[in-house]
Amino acid sequence: MKLKPGEFSKRVVELALKIPEGRVTTYGILAQSAGGHPMMAQMITHILGKSKEDSKIPYHRIVYASGKVWLEPKYEKERLRLYKKEGIKLDKHNKIVDFDNLVWTFN
């Protein structure tokens, strides 16, 4: 499928906003669901950060394919609070417990 310029970015933002509370998706799933190649997963954070919807995007719900979450010190406390609020548990290696059952695939 050939996307028009800007369409991939628009779809990424729209889909990111639809990830339900208590669920997660991966960068790769998000990229493919938006109509891009899996390698475009590397662009997801950049696209979302430039979006006018930036403050509404549930970044904590977008994780690595292994189920590991990104906990940069600047955002760690808030993300851990959000995971707890949504019932998402992490193990001692910052991987989501029961990851396979929490993955959202936009079907």
Of 15-24, 29-38, 47-56, which one has max mean pLDDT?
15-24
Q: Which class for 16: exposed (0-12), middle (13-18), buried (19 or more C-beta within 10 A)?
A: buried
Domains within the chain, CATH numbers bracketed: 7-102 (1.10.10.10)
CB atoms within 10 A of CB 19: 20
Using one digit for the tens of pLDDT, what is the confidence trace for 54-99?
889 999 999 999 999 989 899 899 999 999 999 999 999 999 999 9
Average pLDDT over residues 17-22: 97
